[in-house]
Structure 1
Amino acid sequence: MQTEKPSSSLIVIPCLNEAAHIGALLDQLRPAAARLGARIIVADGGSTDGTLSIVDDVIARDPRVILLHNKRRIQSAAINLAVGTFGDGADYLIRIDAHGGYPDDYCDRLVEEALATSADSVVVSMLTSGSGAVQKAAAAAQNSKLGTGGSKHRHLSQGQWIDHGHHALMRISAFGAVGGYDETFSHNEDAELDYRLRKAGYKIWMSGKTQMVYYPRASLSGLYFQYLGYGRGRAKNVLKHRVIPKVRQMVPLLVFPVVLLAAFSFVHWLAAMPLLLWASVCLGYGLVAAIRQRKADVALAGVSAMVMHLGWSVGFWLQLLGLGSRRGVA
């Protein structure tokens, strides 16, 4: 087991139009980079909102921060490019989402757990939080079993070995050994990589010492297209590796067929019953959650869950059947 702090880490932030967040995030990460002997790579996919000038201002003050232009725009390509360009000599890759919230000691805790467990990858719980009515409802849905099917990385962990979680830290040697992220994936690239890591015998540890906060889409249309992409990504994973979806993924698969079936309710009213049952469960969950938490905004969690289910189901079936094209990556 390793007992010494690694000589270097590489902190990578895939980024696109994050002017509202990137400056504060870099200021938060810079002390950790100094402690860990790390460089911070902002892999930008073509921002047009002032992100680049903010990053340039930080670079002028701190040479540890580096701007890398990611012509392919998607996150999988951004991280592969950063590791391929700057990964030599670094022990660990630390992946940061530009639109997330992190404790100040996030990177330190990740490295500590990697050393303590000898894990090849350390993943974290991803808790969701929002500010507006739609965002709060989406957060409530994403933090619930109704919205995410009980995914382990959507809830706090005490620390455990796991098959998949939200990517946080990875041993660069393991990342390179399996070929990095598959750049044909714009969504679900993390789960696809975790499958190859496990198949190659590498170990994934879910942190019990730190976590991140994710801020969901602030509109129902944005939420729908996000989950449309997730559904497509999951279907690509299933097709690539010939794996059977888990039970919690099989249930939302039924949503799109149920919606299509309801279109035939003019033939017989029973065709609408599955849709009505699904809607009743989701909307009822939102109302019960709002009453229990005494938060009116949470009542919309059921609507958010329905949007998530439908988007994921439509995306999965379209990808499975080879129909449609991917929406531009956000």
Structure 2
Amino acid sequence: MSRIVSVIVPCRNERPYIEAFCASVAQQALPDGWSLEVVVADGCSDDGTAQTLRRLAAQDARMRMIDNPAGIVSAGLNRALECAHGQVIVRMDVHTTYAPDYIAQCLHALATSGADNVGGPWRAEGDTPMQRAIAAAFQSRWLAGGARSRQLGYDGPVDTVYLGCWPRATFERFGGFDETLVRNQDDEHNLRIVKGGGRVWQSSTVRSCYRPRGSLGALFRQYLQYGYWKPFVMRKHGQPAALRHLVPAVFVLALGISAALLPFGMPAGVPAALAGVYAGAVLAASTAAASRTGWGLWWRLPAVIAAYHFGYGIGSLCGWFDVWRGAAAGRERFARLTR
């Protein structure tokens, strides 16, 4: 009897991309003895995405569209999980392209590692010059802070992994995704697995390519949200963030306080020195990234790196403030779609 692998997909307002994405999933080469099921949770799209999904589902019995009234990723993943029949669950996102053997390699990694969640490295590539600059900064060690999930050749245990592939038993043991989190729900779920005695595993043979945001404004808003929701994950688990998660907030806070104290006698050299050291580091990081990806991107990279850092730093400070004041849930303004 054939075993089922269920692909779960949260989406909202993806009309320009959803048809190509569904075609690429349908063409995945599965190992013998496996069959495919695709469950797409649509978060109240108003651009025609839902109509396209219904048409595609009518043409391919392996595909289903369900509604996600909450409109956020964590809720969409949980609604898709509730409907999925597979012994193995694979998460896929619309703005990522996948190797033809992506699912097959996920299944292989799951079988050989014995882990509770497996996935591949988080690789970014862009189409436009701005997207390419954002992708170049994304892969930079200076920006990732040594995160193993950005190391394309790394195989082994990790604290979190891009997207994910789970045996159904993982969700029975550790539960689904936290619907109070608009962002970082995957990090929180992986943290729950690791703290509960499970394992998260990265395999470099699981290959995919993420398409980043296309403008500085969208990038800043995206990382504002990532930064904002991270403290809520830390509060839930009573565990401090890794150093790389704290650095942007500490820098933004130090720069802001030193500038605010200028009228009260703070030497002007203090914020100037902080800004100067940061500018030097950003230029060095930009040069290193451009040397690998193309010098034509160099002049865009400083602004891109600053958008990453300041977005995450300001968002983190807002999140820590709300956690400190005891907010039961995050602010709605940090839950809006950023694409």
How high is the TM-score relative to the length of structure 2? 0.89
Question: CA separation of 1:23/1:226 partners in 2, compared to 1, >3 Å: closer, same or farther?
Answer: same
Which residue of structure 2 lines up, in the alignment, with residue 262 of structure 1? Answer: 259
Q: Which amino acid aligns with 2:259?
A: A
User: Quick check: 2:75–2:177 contact (8 Å CA) kept in 1?
Assistant: yes
Report the Cα distance in structure 2 between the residues aligned to 1:160 and 1:144, rounded to whole angstroms.
20
Report the Cα distance in structure 2 between the residues aligned to 1:132 and 1:32, rounded to whole angstroms.
27
Which residue of structure 1 lines up, in the alignment, with residue 312 of structure 2? Answer: 312
After TM superposition, the structure 1 = structure 2 runs for residues 124-139 of structure 1, keeping only pairs within 5 Å, are: 124-139=120-135
| CA distances 1:33-80 after superposition (whole Å, capped 9, x unpaired) | 876312101111011222122212211211110001101111111111
Report the Cα distance in structure 2 between the residues aligned to 1:40 and 1:294, rounded to whole angstroms.
38
Are positions 1:20 and 2:16 aligned together? yes
User: Quick check: 1:73–1:329 contact (8 Å CA) kept in 2?
Assistant: no
Shift of 1:126: 1.0
Q: Which amino acid aligns with 2:136?
A: A
Shift of 1:157: 2.9
SS in 2 for 1:252: helix
- Where do 5+ consecutive residues of structure 1 fail to align? none
Which residue of structure 2 lines up, in the alignment, with residue 68 of structure 1? Answer: 66
Report the Cα distance in structure 1 between the residues aligned to 2:262 and 2:270, rounded to whole angstroms.
5
| Pairs aligned (count) | 324
For 1:54, which of 52, 55, 58 is the aligned residue? 52
Report the Cα distance in structure 2 between the residues aligned to 1:34 and 1:199, rounded to whole angstroms.
32
SS in 2 for 1:38: strand
Question: CA separation of 1:62/1:288 partners in 2, compared to 1, >3 Å: closer, same or farther?
Answer: closer
Which residue of structure 2 lines up, in the alignment, with residue 195 of structure 1? Answer: 191
Report the Cα distance in structure 2 between the residues aligned to 1:6 and 1:205, rounded to whole angstroms.
26
For 2:231, which of 226, 235, 259 is the aligned residue? 235
Which residue of structure 1 lines up, in the alignment, with residue 285 of structure 2? Answer: 285
Cα RMSD, aligned residues only = 2.0
Are positions 1:224 and 2:220 aligned together? yes
Report the Cα distance in structure 2 between the residues aligned to 1:79 and 1:222, rounded to whole angstroms.
23
Shift of 1:288: 4.7
After TM superposition, the structure 1 = structure 2 runs for residues 73-222 of structure 1, keeping only pairs within 5 Å, are: 73-87=71-85, 90-222=86-218
Report the Cα distance in structure 2 between the residues aligned to 1:293 and 1:41, rounded to whole angstroms.
36
Report the Cα distance in structure 2 between the residues aligned to 1:62 and 1:232, rounded to whole angstroms.
39
Q: Which amino acid aligns with 1:269?
A: A
Runs of 4+ in 1 over 6 A off after TM superposition: none
SS in 1 for 2:316: helix
User: Quick check: 1:157–1:206 contact (8 Å CA) kept in 2?
Assistant: no
Report the Cα distance in structure 2 between the residues aligned to 1:274 and 1:159, rounded to whole angstroms.
37
Are positions 1:295 and 2:292 aligned together? no
How high is the TM-score relative to the length of structure 1? 0.92
Are positions 1:41 and 2:48 aligned together? no
Question: CA separation of 1:142/1:6 partners in 2, compared to 1, >3 Å: closer, same or farther?
Answer: farther
Report the Cα distance in structure 2 between the residues aligned to 1:114 and 1:191, rounded to whole angstroms.
19
Shift of 1:215: 1.1
Higher mean C-alpha deviation, range 156-165 or range 41-50 = 156-165
Shift of 1:292: 5.8
Report the Cα distance in structure 2 between the residues aligned to 1:158 and 1:281, rounded to whole angstroms.
26
Which residue of structure 2 lines up, in the alignment, with residue 30 of structure 1? Answer: 26
| CA distances 1:201-232 after superposition (whole Å, capped 9, x unpaired) | 22211012122211111111111111111111
Q: Which amino acid aligns with 1:153?
A: S
Report the Cα distance in structure 2 between the residues aligned to 1:135 and 1:38, rounded to whole angstroms.
32
Report the Cα distance in structure 2 between the residues aligned to 1:304 and 1:131, rounded to whole angstroms.
16
SS in 2 for 1:256: helix
Report the Cα distance in structure 2 between the residues aligned to 1:11 and 1:301, rounded to whole angstroms.
35
Report the Cα distance in structure 2 between the residues aligned to 1:293 and 1:308, rounded to whole angstroms.
18
Report the Cα distance in structure 1 between the residues aligned to 2:255 and 2:223, rounded to whole angstroms.
17
Q: Which amino acid aligns with 2:304?
A: S
Report the Cα distance in structure 2 between the residues aligned to 1:38 and 1:136, rounded to whole angstroms.
33
